[in-house]
Amino acid sequence: MAYTPPTRTDFIAIYPLFADVTEPAYAHWSTEAVRRIGHLEGCLADGMNTAVMLAIAHLLTKAGIGTGTDAQMAAQGASGFKSMKSGSLSLERFDNAASSSGGDWATTSYGIELWPMLGSCVAGPIVSSTGTLPCIAAFGRNW
């Protein structure tokens, strides 16, 4: 039986910052979230709903939907900034070791929370010409 994502009502109960998401937008982004991580359902098991909701929140935020700061910045085209200056305000984002290997997932707080869940499902040795590297860094990367 195919996985069914949480309803919009259930999602908003957990993530009220997305209360303004329309039903069509929610349907689109929840389908996309399942498309991206549904293949890990067997591994995520009881954590699948949490993972899918984090993925939906990540995708909605990147689309500029929601009332959180990250979503508002994305709506204004400023979500991927490394440094930004406006008048006397100067902001700079630094990569941290925990999120730097997360690729696109590391671009929102929801994706950063989701990344370890996904990584635990693909952990295992990576064999290279120099030996075996036990890590998850290859997940989501083009080597």
Whether 141 is in a domain gets the answer no
140 lies in a domain? no
3 inside domain: no
Q: Is 142 within the bounds of a domain? A: no
Q: Is residue 129 part of a domain?
A: yes
* pLDDT at res. 18: 94
Residue 139 within any structural domain of the chain: no
Please report, for residues 34, 50, 73, 90, the alpha-carbon distance to residue 57 in angstroms, rounded to integers and kept in the order given. Answer: 12, 10, 15, 27
Separation between Cα atoms, residue 66 and residue 60, nearest integer Å = 7
pLDDT at 55: 97
Tally of domains in the chain: 1
Output the pTM of the full model. Answer: 0.70
Domain assignment present for 85? no
Is 84 a domain residue? Answer: no
Residue 122 — very low, low, confident or very high, per pLDDT cuts 50/70/90?
A: confident
Query: What does the alpha-carbon distance between residue 134 and residue 46 come to, in Å, rounded to a whole number?
Result: 26
pLDDT in tens, 77-108: 555 555 656 677 665 655 544 445 667 888 88
Q: What's the mean pLDDT in 44-66?
A: 93
Matching residue, tokens 């949490």? 50
Q: What range defines the domain where residue 18 resides?
A: 8-78+91-134
Neighbours of 26 (CB within 10 A): 21
